[in-house]
Amino acid sequence: MSEVVVVDYGAGNTRSVCAALTHLGRTSTVSADPRLIHEAPHVILPGVGSARSAMTHLEETGAATALRERFAADQPLLGICLGMQLALQASEEDGGVKGLGLLEGIVVRLDAPRIPRLGWALVEPWGETFYFAHSFVAESPDVVATSEGLVAAVRRGSFLGVQFHPEKSDAAGLEFLASCLSLA
């Protein structure tokens, strides 16, 4: 069995996450199989696509239930970008979408000079620069790191969610992923 299951929700770029994991010497499988989500040492909910189609896909495949159970069992889960946003209670995206509800908070449209917010930005208090590409942003009491005043990371129990893309954040991103996996 692979060390990491990268949850497949039918859209976008899971290849880059797997490539970064390979770089770190970790094996990975892209799947929405509830059994694999239960059993994997680590699960990553990646982040590309639209909230509604992602949630629909997760509910239909049974992955949503498996993710909630995994969270309840205190097994590690990492959400990236949309994957982090989906873990909250709801999103304004696509006219309103109910999330997995693992964490407190909602997802709202960004209020920024240019949207999407694209590029590298400092994340505090971590003091590292990561790559962001987003038009929506979390508002959550579970915030543990910010970037330019915006929520950059949330944590509750075994779930850690980040707005940035560690798999696209060069050496800083690889180091971040390695430290997440070492906790598993």
Partner 1 sequence: MPLPRLIPCLDVAAGRVVKGVSFVNLRDVGDPVELAQHYSAGGADELVFLDITATPEGAGTMVHVVERVADVLEIPFTVGGGIRSVSDASRIIEAGADRVSLNSAALADPELITEIARRFGSQAVVVAIDAGDEVVYTHGGRVATDIATVPWAVEAAARGAGEILLTSIARDGQRTGFDLELTESVRDAVDIPVIASGGAGSARHVADALRVTDAALVASIVHENPAGLPGLRREIEAFGIVLRALKERT
User: Which residues bind to partner 1, rule: CB under 8 A?
Assistant: 11-13, 15-16, 19-20, 22-23, 48-50, 112-121, 128-129, 131-135, 148, 165, 167-175
**Euclidean distance between CA atoms 1 and 16, whole angstroms:** 20
Give the SS3 label for residue 27: coil
**Euclidean distance between CA atoms 123 and 102, whole angstroms:** 23
| Residue 165 is among the residues annotated as catalytic for this protein | yes
| Residue 167 is among the residues annotated as catalytic for this protein | yes
Beta strand segments in the chain, E: 4-7, 28-31, 42-45, 77-80, 90-91, 97-98, 106-109, 117-123, 128-134, 136-139, 143-147, 150-156, 159-162
| Least Å from the CB of residue 98 to partner 1 | 19
Considering beta carbons, is residue 11 or 90 the nearer one to partner 1? 11
Considering beta carbons, is residue 123 or 143 the nearer one to partner 1? 123
Structure tokens belonging to residue 13? 């770029």
- Using alpha carbons only, what angle is made at residue 75 by residues 1 and 20, rounded to the nearest 5 degrees? 55
| Least Å from the CB of residue 126 to partner 1 | 12
| Least Å from the CB of residue 80 to partner 1 | 13
**Which residue in the list 42, 93, 165, 180 is annotated as catalytic?**
165
| Least Å from the CB of residue 53 to partner 1 | 8
**Which residue in the list 81, 93, 134, 180 is annotated as catalytic?**
81
Considering beta carbons, is residue 71 or 132 the nearer one to partner 1? 132
Considering beta carbons, is residue 112 or 183 the nearer one to partner 1? 112
| Residue 81 is among the residues annotated as catalytic for this protein | yes
Q: Which residue numbers are catalytic?
A: 81, 165, 167
